[in-house]
């Protein structure tokens, strides 16, 4: 059985793959700690906007206004998961 | 405050500045100490052209104005990729560092370091005919183009903006890069000339935009938003948008009508699109709520020759000459419609990208014969690329494909912005050509048909050596709908799908096969997993077809499908 954390990780990976239509990338290919943007998964500025919308839609997470801070959550899958978990605890 | 022309150095007037200013925004007052800091540093540096890349609007503006006030000009690259900086370093006299060295970031004006205050020369007036900036953009040949602009050109365009869209009582929030002509003019220079504040920090995300609008609201100001289709088409509805926006600008690419109307509703303001280019500056504008037709700026002449737009205006380097735009257009009513680009330049996220540059960059690699890049309209204009390679270099499964794509992405990443790196990759032995031997866009697009239909295998070319026989190269897309059915953690293509594909592709090749009768001698020997590259061999038989599926693993499946000819029954 998967832990809740593992399940959330998998869901988030699927959300990224589906939202951004990433081809030939499976959840297993996404490293928990690798950067999502730039090198690593190679996402770009348009993807950042898409992911912001998807997080709100799927998890009700509203990003805050500090640009640097907001997209810090997108640094890696682990950071993204922490953001969603923090939102759930509220 | 009143509008003052650019060559009047409007940022130098300090008196009378409105006290209604959101904290931490840019204005003449907040800029002054930063400009001085840069002028101190520049006073001991070389003259001439300086490369300026700075994402922070406040620091960018301060450095730019210091360059201008000291008789220098600024080269503004669109990115700071290693390849861009390498290419430009020999053409400039210096590179502006992120902050002026030796000068603390918060240096108070009254205490410049080393007592240099007296040593700085007085600010020079801007001379209309001198070079102000050099912009840097993608050309259709694959080589980037440097486009110089004199102060007069910028001033003429700013005057036009001031007449059409005055900024009195506003604050400006820009979501776009000031390294490009549109962001520079609309987001920075226009508010400077009007003496109104503009956001000193990056505002590209919608959450930041919403907060800046609230800042403006608290200061009792209306807002002008400078944005782009990439951002307006993704404005979230759940954010609170205070109803203080007077006008929204969009440029970089046409905004869809639906997005234009939706943005007007959300931000409760007219959305004005500006059409132009680095070379021409602004050409025309429209508000889709009123018309889809573009209206030229009053001082811009235009005509259409052989389906392409030509422009003459004082914003151009040579105002007396007709400039040939690479956009196809048709005249209508009092303006024109744009019908797409006529060259091999694509716009992704509003950024101009040379398809030829991407192709050339990859073709230089030893194992790549050729590459052909195309934007996919159905995927928001994202780039797709077909790469022709030696057969032994072509990836055969998920892992080899993934590592090849990663390698190629990294190579392109040295030279190109992330949005310019193709998202969809196809590897083939030869680029598909039509019966005249020409590159065929329909065939290229076919390599990406699996994106629009998740029931299809990925088509990567085919060879028919004799009538009644064909070999089709295919791949199992990882998003294939049928993969999920069998075992949740072990996706594979079900056998029935292989039979279905054989029938569909045979029908396409051989024409209508008749009424399905039976499947014979079917063997499923090896499974097909996501990412596997394989070939389908089809043979036309009197009573139907024979098929077999092969890959580097050997034979996966084979069989026959029998059809009856029922043409006479109808």
CATH of the domain at B520: 3.10.129.10
A44/B231 Cβ within 8 A: no
Of B452, B474, B504, which one is at a domain's C-terminal end?
Answer: B452
Q: Which residues pair with B559 in a beta bridge?
A: B547
Let me know: does B517 contact B567? Beta carbons within 8 Å.
Answer: no
Of B312, B341, B370, which one is at a domain's C-terminal end?
Answer: B341
Q: Could you tell me the residue ranges of all domains in chain A? A: 4-89
In sequence order, what DSSP letters do the residues of B335-382 get, joined into one string? Answer: EEEEEEESSSEEEETTEEEEHHHHHHHHHTSTTEEEEEEEEEGGGTTE
B364 with B330, same domain: the answer is: no
Cα separation, B376 vs B448, in Å, equals 9
Let me know: does A52 contact A67? Beta carbons within 8 Å.
Answer: no
Cα separation, B214 vs B183, in Å, equals 22
B132 with B194, same domain: the answer is: yes
**CATH assignment at residue B373:** 3.30.300.30
A39/B419 Cβ within 8 A: no
List the one residue out of B259, B285, B186, B282 whose CA is nearest residue A49: B259
Which chain A residue lies closest to B203 (C-alpha atoms)? A67
Provide ipTM, 2 decimals. 0.89
Q: Which residues pair with B76 in a beta bridge?
A: B135
Whole-number pLDDT of residue B308: 95
The 10 Å CB-count burial string (b at 16+, else e) for B70-86 is bbbbbbbbbbebeebee
Does residue B99 belong to any structural domain of this protein? yes
B448 with B458, same domain: the answer is: no
pLDDT less than 70: residues of chain A: 1, 65-71, 90
Number of domains composing chain B: 3
Taking only residues 7 to 36 of chain A, the set having a beta carbon closer than 8 angstroms to any beta carbon of chain B reads 21-26, 29
In sequence order, what DSSP letters do the residues of B393-407 get, joined into one string? Answer: GS--SHHHHHHHHHH
A49 closest CB neighbour out of B210, B234, B405: B234
Domain that holds residue B547: 454-570
Size of interface A-B (CB pairs under 8 A): 89
Q: Over its length of 570 residues, how does chain B's per-residue pLDDT go in tens digits?
A: 689 999 999 999 865 555 567 878 998 889 999 999 999 999 999 999 999 999 999 999 999 999 999 999 999 998 888 888 888 999 999 999 987 776 554 444 444 455 444 568 899 999 999 999 999 887 777 778 889 999 999 999 999 999 999 999 999 999 999 999 999 999 999 999 999 999 998 898 999 999 999 999 999 999 999 999 999 999 999 899 999 999 999 999 999 999 999 999 999 999 999 999 999 999 999 999 999 999 999 999 999 999 999 999 999 999 999 999 999 999 997 899 999 888 899 999 888 899 999 999 999 999 999 999 999 988 889 999 999 999 999 999 999 999 999 999 999 998 888 899 999 999 999 898 777 777 778 889 999 999 999 999 999 999 888 889 999 999 999 889 998 766 667 889 999 999 999 999 999 999 999 999 999 999 999 999 999 999 999 999 999 999 999 999 999 999 999 999 865 544
Q: Which residues pair with B385 in a beta bridge?
A: B373, B425
Q: Å from A35 to nearest chain B CA?
A: 14
A64/B205 Cβ within 8 A: no
Taking only residues 364 to 403 of chain B, the set having a beta carbon closer than 8 angstroms to any beta carbon of chain A reads 379-380, 398, 401-402
Pick the CATH number of A4-89 from 3.30.1330.90, 1.10.4010.10, 1.10.260.40, 1.10.1200.10: 1.10.1200.10
Residue A29 token pair:
């290919």
Cα separation, B519 vs B238, in Å, equals 55
Which chain B residue lies closest to A48 (C-alpha atoms)? B205
**Chain A interface test: which of B78, B384, B418 (most A C-beta within 10 Å):** B418
A52 closest CB neighbour out of B236, B380, B410: B236
Does residue B84 belong to any structural domain of this protein? yes
B380/A46 Cβ within 8 A: yes
B152 with B101, same domain: the answer is: yes
Does residue B347 belong to any structural domain of this protein? no
Does residue B245 belong to any structural domain of this protein? yes
Of B419, B452, B485, which one is at a domain's C-terminal end?
Answer: B452
Which chain B residue lies closest to A53 (C-alpha atoms)? B236
B214 with B296, same domain: the answer is: yes
B497 with B428, same domain: the answer is: no
B416 with B472, same domain: the answer is: no
B330 with B465, same domain: the answer is: no
Q: Å from A3 to nearest chain B CA?
A: 16
Could you identify the residue written with the tokens 């609170």? B240
Does residue B135 belong to any structural domain of this protein? yes
Cα separation, B30 vs B28, in Å, equals 6
B232 with B357, same domain: the answer is: no
Which chain B residue lies closest to A19 (C-alpha atoms)? B379
B218 with B321, same domain: the answer is: yes
Q: DSSP assignment, residue B44?
A: T
Could you identify the residue written with the tokens 């956009």? B327
Whole-number pLDDT of residue B570: 46
Whole-number pLDDT of residue B303: 96
Within 13 Å of residue B10, how many CA atoms lie on the same side as its CB? 21
B272 with B126, same domain: the answer is: yes
Does residue B346 belong to any structural domain of this protein? no
Taking only residues 29 to 88 of chain A, the set having a beta carbon closer than 8 angstroms to any beta carbon of chain B reads 29, 37-39, 42-46, 48-50, 52-53, 56, 62-67, 70-71
List the one residue out of A81, A10, A20 whose CA is nearest residue A45: A20
H or E segment at B249?
A: strand B245-251
Within 13 Å of residue B76, how many CA atoms lie on the same side as its CB? 26
Helix, strand, coil % (nearest 5) of chain A?
60, 5, 35
Cα separation, B164 vs B246, in Å, equals 13
B472 with B564, same domain: the answer is: yes
Cα separation, B195 vs B212, in Å, equals 18
């Amino acid at each position: 059985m998967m832990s809740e954390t593992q399940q959330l990780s998998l869901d988030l990976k699927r959300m990224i793959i589906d939202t951004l239509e990433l081809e030939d990338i499976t959840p297993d290919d996404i490293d928990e700690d690798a950067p999502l943007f730039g090198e690593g998964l190679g996402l770009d500025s348009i993807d950042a906007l898409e992911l912001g919308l998807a997080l709100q839609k799927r998890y009700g997470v509203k990003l805050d206004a500090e640009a640097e801070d907001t997209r810090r959550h997108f640094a890696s899958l682990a950071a993204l998961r922490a953001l969603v978990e923090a939102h759930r605890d509220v | 405050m009143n509008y003052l022309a650019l060559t009047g150095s409007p940022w130098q007037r300090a008196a009378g500045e409105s006290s209604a200013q959101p904290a931490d925004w840019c204005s003449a007052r907040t800029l002054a100490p930063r400009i001085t800091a840069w002028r101190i540093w520049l006073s001991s540096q070389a003259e001439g052209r300086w490369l300026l890349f700075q994402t922070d609007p406040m620091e960018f503006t301060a450095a730019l104005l210091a360059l201008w006030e000291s008789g220098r000009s600024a080269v503004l690259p669109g990115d700071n990729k290693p390849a861009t900086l390498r290419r430009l370093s020999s053409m400039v006299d210096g590179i502006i560092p992120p902050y002026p060295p030796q000068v603390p970031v918060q240096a108070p004006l009254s205490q410049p370091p080393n007592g240099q205050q007296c040593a700085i020369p007085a600010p020079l007036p801007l001379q209309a005919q001198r070079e102000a900036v050099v912009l840097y953009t993608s050309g259709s040949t694959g080589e980037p183009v440097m486009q110089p602009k004199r102060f007069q050109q910028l001033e003429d365009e700013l005057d036009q903006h001031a007449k059409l869209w005055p900024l009195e009582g506003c604050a400006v929030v820009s979501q776009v890069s000031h390294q490009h002509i549109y962001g520079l003019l609309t987001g920075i220079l226009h508010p400077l000339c009007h003496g109104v504040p503009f956001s000193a920090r990056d505002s590209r995300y919608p959450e930041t935009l919403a907060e800046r609008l609230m800042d403006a609201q608290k200061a009792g100001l209306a807002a002008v938003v400078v944005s782009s289709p990439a951002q307006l088409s993704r404005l979230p509805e759940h954010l609170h948008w205070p109803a203080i926006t007077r006008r929204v600008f969009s440029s970089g690419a046409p905004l869809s009508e639906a997005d234009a109307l939706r943005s007007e509703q959300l931000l409760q303001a007219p959305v004005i699109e500006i059409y132009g280019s680095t070379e021409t500056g602004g050409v025309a504008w429209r508000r889709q709520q009123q018309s889809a037709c573009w209206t030229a700026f009053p001082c811009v002449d235009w005509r259409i020759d052989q389906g392409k737009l030509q422009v003459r205006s004082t914003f151009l380097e040579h105002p007396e000459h007709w400039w040939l735009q690479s956009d196809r257009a048709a005249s209508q009513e009092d303006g024109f419609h744009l019908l797409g680009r006529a060259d091999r330049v694509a716009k992704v996220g509003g950024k101009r990208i040379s398809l030829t540059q991407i192709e050339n960059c990859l073709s230089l690699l030893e194992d790549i014969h050729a590459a052909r890049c195309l934007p996919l309209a159905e995927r928001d204009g994202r780039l797709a690329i077909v790469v022709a390679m030696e057969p032994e270099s072509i990836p055969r499964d998920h892992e080899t494909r993934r590592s090849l794509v990663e390698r190629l992405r990294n190579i392109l990443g040295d030279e190109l912005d992330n949005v310019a790196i193709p998202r969809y990759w196809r590897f083939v032995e030869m680029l598909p050509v039509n019966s005249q031997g020409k590159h065929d866009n329909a065939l290229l697009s076919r390599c990406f048909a699996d994106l629009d239909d998740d029931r299809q295998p990925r088509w990567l070319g085919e060879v028919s050596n004799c009538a009644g026989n064909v070999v089709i190269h295919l791949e199992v897309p990882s998003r294939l709908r049928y993969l999920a059915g069998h075992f949740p953690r072990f996706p594979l293509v079900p056998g029935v799908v292989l039979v279905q594909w054989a029938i569909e592709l045979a029908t396409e090749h051989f024409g209508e096969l008749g009424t399905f009768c039976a499947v014979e001698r079917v063997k499923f020997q090896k499974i097909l997993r996501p990412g596997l590259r394989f070939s389908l061999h089809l043979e036309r038989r009197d009573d139907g077809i024979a098929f077999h599926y092969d890959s580097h693993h050997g034979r996966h499946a084979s069989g026959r499908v029998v059809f009856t000819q029922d043409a006479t029954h109808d």
